[in-house]
Amino acid sequence: MTTLFAPAEARARRAKATGRPDLWKATPLTKIVLAVTIIVSAFPIYWMVVIASRSNREATDIPPPFLPGGNLGQNIQRVLTNEDAHYLAGLTNSVIIASTVTISVVLISTFAGFAFARLRFKGGRILLLLVLVTMMVPLQQMGMVPLYRMMVSLEWIGTLKAVILPYLLNGFGVFLMTQYTEQAVPNELVEAARVDGASTLRIWWNVILPAVRPGMAVLGINTFMLTWNDFLWPLIVLTPDNPTVQVAINSLNAKYGTDYVLIFSGTALSVLPLIIVFVVFGRQIIGGLMEGAVKA
Amino acid sequence: MSLHVDSGPSTRAPVPPSRRHGRPGSGRTFLSWLDMKAAPYFLISPYYLLFLLFGIFPLGFTLWYSLYDYDLAGTVKWTGLGNYSALLADSAFWNAVVNTLGMFVIATVPQILLALLLANALNKRIRGRLFVRLGVLLPLVTSVVAVAVVFTQLYGRDWGLFNWILGSVGVDPVDWKAERLPSWLAISTMIDWRWTGYNAIIFLAAMQTVPKDLYEAAAIDGASRRRQFWQITIPMLRPTMIFVVLNSTIGGLTLFAEPTTFYGGNVHGGSNSQFQTVSMFIVEQGFREFDYGYAAGAAWLLFIMILIGSLINFLLIRRIGGNK
């Protein structure tokens, strides 16, 4: 980043010296566009907190309230003790599901990425191509009916297994880790370890794993967020008394349509863990996203 | 990123001598031969096992199911392509197709234009770069259900903020859920709010790979900023544009959570199904009516829609970039 930045500064200075317009200068329009975007981005989340901390009477005031009130704790209490939503169970289930899926997907993808990027074997290219093709298929919609029937005959409906297992199939993860391994681990390093007599598993552990850790982090954060937020499949295979957090919010929404304060408190509480992750790992998330975009 | 690469592995790479399987040149044992030949397959096997179970198997079985007729009583009858011909004659299915395509267009076109504009602004020299980028990406963190809950309230007929704003400039309140176009608009804004910033960051990454000299040369030739944007940035962004549009096509045509939450968690999509999408139609047929065959047939038709939509968009973008 620093190397990119220095010439830009130099260019700016040169542009000033030669009297040519500086192409990368932020115009007032730029600043307005960005400011408006940030306000629009943040507003619904702010609004969530405003309504979640008010009473239902205030929430339906005209004009609406624009500042947070003092009822947040009490409202969250109501969400947690609500008998239809099973919110706490939902929160726990979401943590279990998202963590299990994240760890598995990252491991499976790192294994496969190593094989595709740095090992030579018959059919490797075709198998990798297969991964790319399946990334285009909307598996959730396409596989819904048979997967549901499969879970019924296994008697897994209502269990977390039924949610977790289909999520472990993640072509994007394999693709990302293949790309990352290719870039992060020089072939010579693998060859050298091989000459030293290291087994494939040992190479994975001692050479690959330390090098691809940043890629694993990006994939992990990504997978966690997607799994945490997914709605359609848990809605189908789980029952309302053992939900994920999204399904719990849906139950609140379906049953207490006008009790905005209750629904908003539940929603705010479900977004909170992700906002924390986002603030802590923001730099890595953006870095990973931008790097992935250029390579794809 | 490259820093990690240089420091990490080189210090750890050498394997402790005591653990070596065999010295180089001392001849490969059977075990090491097995390790060379079988290990790659062993490493990729977890993925392909899952792929078989939760990818190939459901896809094939969806096709199989779509050839049978299921009814509420649980009887199953072979019907061949009967489900498909019934679907193509079913006005409820076509209604869902029209809704899906309508919302896809209303949401995607402004979203891509806004994302380009935003990426162009982000590409300027700005202070607090990380903060601004995080701000732009913030909506991505919130779940679709959360977004839909908040926007549904904002679009409320009686106490919603948007109607209050409209009212204060003298416009009559809109019943966003009751009619087709307003409901499409409301749902489209939910999609755009969530995805515009994400796409802008993707475009920004691509913009930063465009050589800056190109712009400087164009500036010397007297090309305006606007012309530089359309004649340098846009053509150079073509591969990324294809990626973004294909992504939006798949996401848009499989739309489910926003319209479902907008109607209080019901997949019927409004009193007259005015915003029921194909995904919601599939869930309604399969899991409310328990007509698995019909739902499976609709899923295959949706897949075909996605393939056609992707192809059209792909060709369109190739043309746009090619003409300039």
Per residue in B37-79, pLDDT tens?
888 999 999 999 999 988 888 888 899 999 998 877 778 889 8
Neighbours of A84 (CB within 10 A): 13
Distance CA B169, CA A76 (A): 36
Chain B nearest-CA residue for A278:
B141
Closest residue on chain B to A136 (Cα): B250
The three-class DSSP label of residue A139 is: helix
List the structure tokens of A2: 């620093």
| Angle between the N-to-C axes of helices A260-295 and A209-229, in degrees from 0 to 180, rounded to the nearest 10 | 140
Q: Where are the domains of chain A?
A: 2-70, 86-295
Contact B292 A127 (CB under 8 A): no
- pLDDT of amino acid B308: 92
Written as one letter, the residue type at A72 is: L
B290 close to B72: Cβ distance less than 8 angstroms: yes
Listed by number, the residues of chain B in 215-274 with a beta carbon closer than 8 Å to a beta carbon of chain A are: 215-216, 219-220, 225, 228, 240, 243, 246, 250, 253-254, 256-257, 260-261, 264-266
pLDDT at B25: 46
The one-letter code for the residue type at B166 is: L
pLDDT confidence tier of residue B199, bands split at 50, 70 and 90 = very high
Chain A closest-CA separation from residue B88 CA (Å): 18
Q: What is the CA radius of gyration of chain B?
A: 26
What's the gap in Å between the CA of A193 and the closest CA on chain B? Answer: 6
CB-CB neighbors (< 8 A) of B186 in chain A: none
The domain A86-295: what is its CATH number?
A: 1.10.3720.10
Structure tokens at B13: 């790479």
pLDDT tens-digit readout, B120-174: 999 988 888 889 999 999 998 888 898 898 999 899 888 788 888 898 888 888 8
* Interchain pair B256, A270: CB under 8 A: no
Q: Is the pLDDT of residue B19 over 80?
A: no
Could you tell me the end-to-end alpha-carbon distance of chain B, in angstroms, rounded to an integer? 35
CATH of the domain at B297: 1.10.3720.10
The residue among A42, A119, A73, A147 whose CA lies nearest residue B58 is A147
- The dihedral through the CA atoms of A276, A281, A286, A292 has a sign that is negative
Query: Which of B9, B36, B299 faces A144 most closely, judged by CB atoms?
Result: B299
Between CA A199 and CA A207, with CA A201 as vertex, the angle to 5 degrees is 90
Cross-chain Cβ contact A282/B130 below 8 Å: yes
Nearest CB to B62 within list A142, A204, A206: A142
Q: Strand, helix or coil at B111?
A: helix
**CB < 8 Å to A85, chain B:** none
**CA proximity to B148, closest of A252, A227, A139:** A252
In the chain, the amino acid numbered A243 is P
Do residue A196 and residue B250 have CB atoms under 8 angstroms apart? Answer: no
DSSP line for B1-23: -HHHHHHHHHHH-SPPGGG-SS-
CB A59 within 8 A of CB B159: yes
Handedness of CA B136, B141, B145, B149 (dihedral sign): negative
User: Would the CB atoms of B4 and A141 count as touching at under 8 Å?
Assistant: no
Contacts of B52 by beta carbon, 8 Å cutoff, 6+ apart: none
Interchain CB distance below 8 Å, A253 and B265: yes
A17: exposed, middle or buried (Cβ count in 10 Å: 0-12, 13-18, 19+): exposed
Query: Does residue B9 belong to any structural domain of this protein?
Result: no
Contact A148 B287 (CB under 8 A): yes
Q: Please indicate if any CB of chain A lies within 8 Å of the CB of B52.
A: no
Structure tokens at B57: 């198997």
Q: Show residues of chain B in contact with A289, CB under 8 Å.
A: 137, 198, 201-202, 205
Under an 8 A CB cutoff, do B141 and A192 touch? no
What 3-state class would DSSP assign to A206? helix
pLDDT digits (tens, 9 = 90+) for B200-259: 999 998 888 888 888 888 888 888 888 888 888 888 888 888 888 888 998 999 999 999
B154 touches A47 (CB < 8 A): yes
Q: Please report the pLDDT score of residue A259 as a whole number.
A: 85
Query: Between chains, do A211 and B143 touch, taking CB under 8 Å as contact?
Result: no
Encoded tokens for A164: 């977790």
Q: How far apart are CA B114 and CA A6, in angstroms?
A: 29
Mean pLDDT within B298-323: 84
Give residues with Cβ within 8 angstroms of A74, minimum separation 6. Answer: none
Tell me what percent of the residues of chain B surpass a pLDDT of 90.
Answer: 41
Residue of A31, A34, A145, A263 best to disrupt the B interface, most CBs of B under 10 A: A145
Q: What is the interface size between A and B, counted as CB pairs within 8 Å? A: 350
Of A134, A141, A271, the CB nearest to B146: A271
Residue in B150, B228, B244, B253 to test binding to A, most A beta-carbons within 10 Å: B150
Q: Which domain holds residue B101?
A: 88-323
Nearest-by-CA chain B residue for A22: B216
How many domains does chain B divide into? Answer: 1
Residue B277: pLDDT above 90? yes
What phi and psi, each to the nearest 5 degrees, are found at residue A25?
-75, 140
- Cα R_g (chain A), whole angstroms: 24
CA–CA separation, A195 and A187 (whole Å): 12
Which positions in chain A touch B24 (Cβ < 8 Å)?
195-197
B228: closest chain A residue by CA: A23
DSSP B270: S
Could you list the mean pLDDT of each consecutive 10-residue stretch along chain A, which spans 296 residues? 49 56 79 93 92 83 81 88 89 95 96 92 89 80 88 93 92 90 90 88 92 88 89 92 92 85 91 86 83 65
Q: Is B286 close to A192, i.e. CB distance below 8 A? A: no
Q: Which position has the token pair 């409820």?
A: B92
Mean pLDDT over B183-210 rounds to 92
- Coil, strand, or helix at residue B38? helix
Name the residue with tokens 């309302």: A240
Tabulate helix, strand, coil % of chain B (nearest 5).
70, 0, 25
| B291 φ, ψ (degrees, to nearest 5) | -100, 80
Residue B308 at interface with chain A, using a CB cutoff of 8 Å: no
Of B126, B219, B292, the CB nearest to A20: B219
Cβ within 8 Å of A, B 171-190: none
Distance, CA of B205 to CA of B154 (rounded, Å):
33
Neighbours of A180 (CB within 10 A): 27
